[in-house]
Amino acid sequence: MVERSESDSRSLLRRLRDTLATPGGGQDRLDRITHLIADSMRTQVCSIYLFRDPETLELCATEGLNPESVHKTRMRLGEGLVGRVARTGQPVNTGNAPSEPGFRYMPETGEEIYSSFLGVPIQRVGEKLGVLVVQSREAREFSEDEVYGLEVVAMVLAEMTELGAFIGDNNNGIGAAHRFTVMFRGTTGQEGAAEGRVWLHEPRVVVTNPVGDDPDAELKRLEEAIQALQAQIEDMLEGSAAMDKEHRQVLETYKMLAHSRGWFRRMSEDIGLGLSAEAAVEKEQSTARARLEQSPDLYLRERLNDLDDLSNRLLRLLTGQGKDTGAELPPDPVLIARNIGPAELLEYGRALRGVVLEEGSVGSHAAIVARALSIPLVIHAARITTEALNGDLILVDGDQGFVHLRPEETVAAAFRDKIAMQAEAQKRYADLREQPATDQSGQTISLMMNAGLMADLPSLNGSGADGVGLFRTELQFLTRTRVPRRSELAALYKRVMDAAGDKRVHFRTLDIGSDKVLPYMKPQDEPNPAMGWRAIRVGLDKPGVLRMQLQALIRGAEGRPLSVMFPFIATPNEFHAARDSLLREMERESALGRTVPCDLKIGAMLETPSLGFAPESFFKACDFISIGGNDLKQFFFAADRENERVRRRYDTLDAAFLTFIEQIIARCAANNTALSFCGEDAGRPVEALALAALGVPTLSMRPASIGPVKHLIRRADLRELREIIVNARDAGAQSLRPAVTAYLANL
């Protein structure tokens, strides 16, 4: 076979572009393309396989194979040589295809007479769209130039697939990127259900001109864009003097990549073969991503984000498509992002119907803000940013962690029924707003709400909450680029207490560390941050910040009752040290002639099993204790709540866990220490009912959960349920959930 020159390649791409521009159905275009490529490559076969769904490839067009096999021949991802190309994102080039491991014989295609096989992925920035294959009778491997040339052709096909060039009559809907119904299974970050339209936080750059007519002009455009990119990075480096060492190292890595001669050389070669500057950038981005994703080296895989960010910056410079595309936010937006900071999420505010992230964690900044705004959130929805397009219909099931993108009508209808049922239930719960959470035996449980923003406070009256059981003070630190001033915090705490009126607010001091890292705080490289330098440990090691916050709380109270609790107390000494610090600030403020709270309550969050076995003196010293159920459960069961493989394996209604909770209840009661339970389980009606039956007098939850929990408590007899729980435990039941649900079935 004659090796192809740059002029041959450019000629092929121009002919390919002209073919794509010719009017006709999608199938007609595919058929013409395979004929064109086979003729140009001087092969007997050219075939295009595209994804029918994320796991299935379908033969959509062919020149040389049996035409009857089109739209009938299918294979799973990884199956056969075509499936191998699709799975790995790497070419397969062999002169003896039948001898290759994994070769699949497909008699319906008539391919047994072809020995040579070259398959390259049709992909765009890691998004797998299909496979382009050429075959010949001659038993030999294709040259490097031929492989490279076919990859360039595949890049153009990827861009045209992205733009919907193959949508049309008689193609059975095949070959259209972003047309599949896709379901993502992620992790629940915030419960709730929402239907809306996709709004991408960082819209994808759309390449509309994959073929370049003038290589010299395209090369000049690329050079100018790279120079502008390098200047941007230099500007960022000049302003990085106050940054942490790690942040500056990231910029230094960007600088190194932006000045890479190899990167520029490969893109220049792509342009020489006929690609536009934009398409050349995307081709190298896609090729590098496919290669790095297969690497066992964690450092190399982590460079993917650097590569993507640089490539996207370069594409924006080339196309003029900035992050602000001029598109208007739809009336029912569901935000899609790889990750997002709390300040950016707050800018969207309550306009959002839901949020879906590729990354994040259940305790991340975004999750905290989403809970504060009562927005359904799903995290770990892998690759949704590459699949979704602005305006796509999307269903977010925060209860189960599912996301349906471009759902079928039957799925959408069932989902709408679920949302309608939830809305109807909320209307019924609203009628209970002024009613106490009193059970059939006459016991009353106090139901409090969690908060972290001023925007939460209107829910205090609307939900019927008795007060704020947890006010997360870290959000005011997380949403700023610098440490907030004491006066700013004092003014905020004053507004919070003003809004709460005569209802008590329990302020939790700064709970940072683990996955809640302040933008201006040096990240800690810890092997297990959830059990590392966090919460009160940071406060005691950084007494200046703790003192400043305590002073702001005292001043913000303006003489009113104040409740302060310290997070993640593991030993009594930590609590006593924090308590002494607060009492010293009270004395200082009083000595300065400032008004101090008329009633000060100091408490601790019990989030580690060790504290449940603390001496009686600890319980006597606490005015109140709040069980932090989320952390306590993960440490009790040694099950990381960020790890989907283990976090769902352990039940709150496990007999051992409830026995431990019961011991804490008894110790608090014996020492007249007020007790509450705060966490996700406090807002789940079944779990909340069991905790109340065991004797937890106060539950603190998100506002939307108060109605369902109150409704169930008012129907139940807590004394009767307690007896059922105790009897099931005494009978040796490991999980008490069956006994509780059986009781509820008879209500």
Active-site residue list? 365, 678
Give the type of residue at 107.
P
Q: How many residues does the chain have?
A: 747
268 vs 218: CA distance, rounded Å: 9
12 vs 221: CA distance, rounded Å: 22
Q: Which residue's structure tokens are 């369902």?
A: 708
Chain-centre distance of CA 56, in angstroms?
26
Q: What are phi and psi of 138, to 5 degrees?
A: -65, 130
- Is the CB of residue 453 less than 8 Å from the CB of residue 372? yes
Q: Which residues, listed in sequence order, are joined to residue 93 by a DSSP beta bridge? A: 118
Q: Provide the token pair at 536.
A: 């009160």
Coil, strand or helix: which one is 599?
coil
Closest by CA to 554, choosing from 510, 507, 604, is: 507
The contacts of residue 603 (CB under 8 Å, 6+ apart) are 506, 563, 564, 565, 566, 622, 623, 624, 625, 626, 674
Scored b (16 or more CB within 10 A) or e, 465-504 reads bbbbbbbbbbbbbbbeeeeeebeebbebbbebbebbeebb
Give the type of residue at 401.
G
289 vs 294: CA distance, rounded Å: 9
Which region holds residue 124: left if phi is over 0, alpha if psi is between -120 and 50, else beta? Answer: beta
Coil, strand or helix: which one is 422?
helix
Q: What angle do CA 599, 618, 538 make, to 5 degrees?
A: 80
357 vs 380: CA distance, rounded Å: 6
450 vs 473: CA distance, rounded Å: 11
The contacts of residue 480 (CB under 8 Å, 6+ apart) are 343, 519, 520
Q: What angle do CA 381, 206, 16 make, to 5 degrees?
A: 120
Chain-centre distance of CA 119, in angstroms?
34
Q: What are phi and psi of 12, to 5 degrees?
A: -60, -45
736 vs 365: CA distance, rounded Å: 34
> What dihedral angle (degrees, nearest 10) is formed by the CA atoms of 652, 656, 658, 664?
-130
CA distances from 372 to 472, 641, 702 (A): 9, 20, 8
* 3-state class percentages of the chain: helix first, strand second, coil last, to nearest 5: 50, 20, 35
DSSP string, 453-467: SGGGTTHHHHTT-SS
